[in-house]
C-alpha cells in the first residue's frame, strides 16, 4: 500500500523526520495523500520477448501503457515532403511511442516503489540551485563532492525539475534521480548539463529535502540509465540489475511489465500502418510481401 503523507508544498512548516529505523516521527497533523501524477509515456525493455507480469505493477499503469499507443495513433502529424503521408504517419507513430515510453518508465518505477510500502516518491519536483552550490561544484573534484553537503542558501542561479525524489523510510536516505531510457548515447552537451544538475543536487540534497519537510541522514543523486547506453559518467549511472539493488525493490519487473503491454499494443497496430504506407507508395500488400508457393502435393 502506498505511503500517504501530505506533500510538503501544501503544508509549509510541517517536517517529517525519517529516523534511522525508517519510521517518520509522529506528527499531530492529519496527512492527506501525495498525488503522484501518472503522466503519459512508456517503459523499458528491448526486443519483443517481454511477457506481461500482471502483479509487477498496478492495473492503472498497464492501462496507461495501452493508452500511450492509442494516443500516438490519434495524434495529428504533418507529412514530410520527402517521405509523403504514408511513411510520415508510420514514422510519426513510432517516434511518438518511443517518446511516451520514457514517461511510462518513470510511472512504472514510481508505482513499484510506492507499492513496496517503503518509499515516498515525488515526481517533477522543482529544485532551486544556488550560486554557492554552483561555486562549490565548480571548485571541487568528483571525489571531493561525494562527501560534501551545503546549505540551501544564497541567490538562486537556476531552477530545475527533478524526475524523481525518493525518500527511504527504512534507511533515512533520499535518492534524487534523473531517468533515461538509454537506448542510445545522448549528445555531449546534454550529458554535461544533466551531470552538472545532478552534482549540484547531491551537495545540496539534504538541505533541499529539509526545505520540503523531510529530514534525512543522506542524499544521493543518480542517473538511472534503463538500457545502459546513454553515455553518462560511471559514478552517477545506475543501470541493469543495479537499479533493483539501489532500491532493494523489483523496479525493473514493473518496467518490463509496462513495456510488454506497450510492445504488444504497438505490434498490433503496425500492420495497418504498413498497409497505409505501402499504399501511399503505390505498392500493394501482396507485392511487398509475396506469398510463398504452396509445397507440391505428394
pTM for the model stands at 0.76
**Tell me: the pLDDT tens digits for 73-102?**
998 888 999 999 999 999 999 999 999 999
Residue 236 CA, chain-centre distance (Å), reads 16
The pLDDT of residue 150 is: 96
The pLDDT of residue 156 is: 97
Quote the mean pLDDT of the chain: 82
Give the whole-angstrom CA distance, residue 65 versus residue 60: 9
| Domain-wise residue ranges, the chain | 56-116+251-281, 117-248
Q: Where residue 284 falls among pLDDT bands split at 50, 70, 90?
A: low
**Tell me: the pLDDT tens digits for 129-141?**
999 999 999 999 9
Residue range 149-168: mean pLDDT, rounded: 96
Q: Alpha-carbon dihedral of residues 251, 257, 262, 263, nearest 10 degrees? A: 110
Q: Where residue 32 falls among pLDDT bands split at 50, 70, 90?
A: very low
Give the whole-angstrom CA distance, residue 240 versus residue 42: 18
Give the whole-angstrom CA distance, residue 18 versus residue 25: 7
Whether residue 192 has pLDDT greater than 60: yes
**Tell me: the pLDDT tens digits for 203-248?**
999 999 999 999 999 999 999 999 999 999 999 999 999 999 999 9
Tell which wins on pLDDT, 287 or 232: 232
Highest mean pLDDT among 13-17, 28-32, 51-55, 125-129 belongs to 125-129
Whether residue 22 has pLDDT greater than 90: no
The pLDDT of residue 179 is: 98
**H helix intervals, 116-204:** 131-139, 142-145, 188-203
Amino acid at each position: 500500500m502506498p505511503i500517504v503523507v501530505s506533500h510538503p508544498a501544501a503544508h509549509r512548516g510541517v517536517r517529517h523526520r525519517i529516523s534511522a529505523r525508517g519510521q517518520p516521527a509522529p506528527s499531530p497533523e492529519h496527512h492527506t495523500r501525495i498525488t503522484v501524477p501518472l503522466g503519459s509515456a512508456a517503459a523499458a525493455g528491448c526486443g519483443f520477448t517481454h511477457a506481461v507480469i500482471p502483479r509487477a505493477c498496478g492495473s492503472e499503469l498497464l492501462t496507461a501503457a495501452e493508452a500511450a499507443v492509442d494516443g500516438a495513433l490519434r495524434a495529428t502529424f504533418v507529412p514530410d515532403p520527402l517521405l509523403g503521408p504514408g511513411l510520415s504517419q508510420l514514422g510519426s507513430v513510432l517516434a511518438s511511442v518511443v517518446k511516451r515510453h520514457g514517461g511510462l518508465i518513470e510511472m512504472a518505477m514510481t508505482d513499484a516503489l510506492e507499492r513496496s510500502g517503503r518509499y515516498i516518491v515525488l515526481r517533477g519536483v522543482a529544485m532551486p540551485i544556488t550560486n554557492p552550490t554552483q561555486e562549490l561544484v565548480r571548485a571541487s573534484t568528483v571525489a571531493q563532492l561525494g562527501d560534501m553537503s551545503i546549505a540551501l542558501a544564497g541567490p538562486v542561479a537556476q531552477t530545475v525539475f527533478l524526475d524523481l525524489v525518493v525518500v527511504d523510510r527504512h534507511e533515512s536516505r533520499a535518492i534524487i534521480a534523473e531517468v533515461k531510457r538509454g537506448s542510445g548515447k545522448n549528445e555531449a552537451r546534454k550529458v554535461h548539463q544533466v551531470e552538472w544538475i545532478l552534482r549540484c543536487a547531491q551537495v545540496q540534497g539534504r538541505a533541499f529535502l529539509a526545505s520540503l519537510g523531510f529530514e534525512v541522514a543522506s542524499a544521493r543523486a543518480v542517473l538511472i540509465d534503463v538500457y545502459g547506453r546513454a553515455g553518462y559518467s560511471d559514478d552517477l549511472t545506475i543501470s541493469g540489475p543495479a537499479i533493483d539493488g539501489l532500491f532493494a525493490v523489483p523496479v525493473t519487473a514493473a518496467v518490463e511489465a509496462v513495456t510488454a503491454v506497450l510492445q504488444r499494443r504497438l505490434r498490433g497496430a503496425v500492420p495497418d500502418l504498413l498497409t497505409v504506407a505501402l499504399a501511399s507508395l503505390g505498392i500493394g500488400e501482396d507485392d511487398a510481401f509475396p506469398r510463398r508457393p504452396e509445397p507440391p502435393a505428394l
